[in-house]
Amino acid sequence: MDRKLRILCLHGMAQNEVIFRKKTAVIRKKLDKMADLVYITAPHLSVHPEHTSEALREAAADPTAPEELKPFGWWAYSDFQSPDDEHLTGFKESIEAVKDVLIKQGPFDAVFGFSQGASFASMLTAVLENRTLLPEFISPEFEHPPFKFAMVAASFIPNRPSVAKLFASKIKTPSIHMIGEKDTLITPEQMMTLANAFEDPVLLTHTGGHVVPSNAPSRNEIVAFVTKFT
């Protein structure tokens, strides 16, 4: 490939593009010669007490606080929403926001997500690959091509009927899945369920917790995976 890969980066729940950029600095440096990592912030403020600290909620409520201190998410959690509800709250708005990025800043060769962002990245990968899955959100006429690969860290399949159909058939896009053995927020079993929704997933197991791994063996495995697409 004559040009660098362009990788769309989606942060986790209660983060933003600035935080995710900092948390992936080591990986970004290792990939610098072959890829440009493009970070974006989700459209929804994330203020549910279960997922945010008091400081984050105060920053979210302060109109003068810089964006890098505010918590955002790709969909919202609500005490009033039943797991039987068809759609994730705010999912449509996030799809529209990302479609706008794909049009204005794309095309992107790949997607890299962490936690909730990796879950959203997996769904986005599925619908770009198969336009019949959510035609009301991403139509067959939408011009962005499927991703060449997906990088999925510490993630899961949300419990919603509208989401289940996205994973009913194996996703054929090549993928690497980063699984922390000591993760207490998303269990390794949940991560494996998502990984198994992909065809022939590459598994990167590390001894850390709910993080993007940055130790030398993990870095080398990530670089080796991405190199295959250059």
CATH of domain 5-41+95-227: 3.40.50.1820
- Does residue 113 surpass a pLDDT of 90? yes
Provide the phi-psi class of 70: left if phi over 0, else alpha when psi is between -120 and 50, else beta: beta
Q: What is the pLDDT at residue 47?
A: 54
pLDDT digits (tens, 9 = 90+) for 210-227: 999 999 999 999 999 999
Q: Which residue has the higher pLDDT, 25 or 161?
A: 25
**Annotated catalytic residue 210:** yes
91/225: higher pLDDT? 225
- Whether residue 121 contacts residue 198, with contact meaning beta carbons closer than 8 Å, is answered with no
Annotated catalytic residue 115: yes
Report pLDDT for 78.
54
* Sequence ranges of the domains in the chain: 5-41+95-227
The one catalytic residue among 48, 51, 210, 214: 210
Q: What is the pLDDT of residue 130?
A: 95
The full 3-state SS of 111-168, as one line of letters, equals: EEEECHHHHHHHHHHHHHHCCCCCCCCCCCCCCCCCCCEEEEECCCCCCCHHHHHHHC
> Model confidence over 28-70: pLDDT tens digits?
999 999 999 999 999 998 755 455 556 555 655 567 666 777 8
Asked if the model's pLDDT at residue 83 lies above 60, the reply is no
Confidence band (pLDDT; 50, 70, 90) for 79? very low
Residues 127 and 168: beta-carbon distance below 8 Å: no
- C-alpha pair distances (Å), 62 with each of 45, 58, 65, 141: 12, 6, 5, 40
Is residue 62 flagged as an active site residue? Answer: no
pLDDT tens per residue across span 144-201: 999 999 999 999 999 888 888 899 999 999 999 999 999 999 999 999 999 999 999 9
Q: Which of 115, 119, 122, 175 is catalytic?
A: 115
- Tell me if the pTM is above 0.75: yes
**Is the pLDDT score of 73 beyond 60?**
yes
In this predicted structure, what is the pLDDT of residue 219?
97
Element (H, E) at 219: helix 216-227
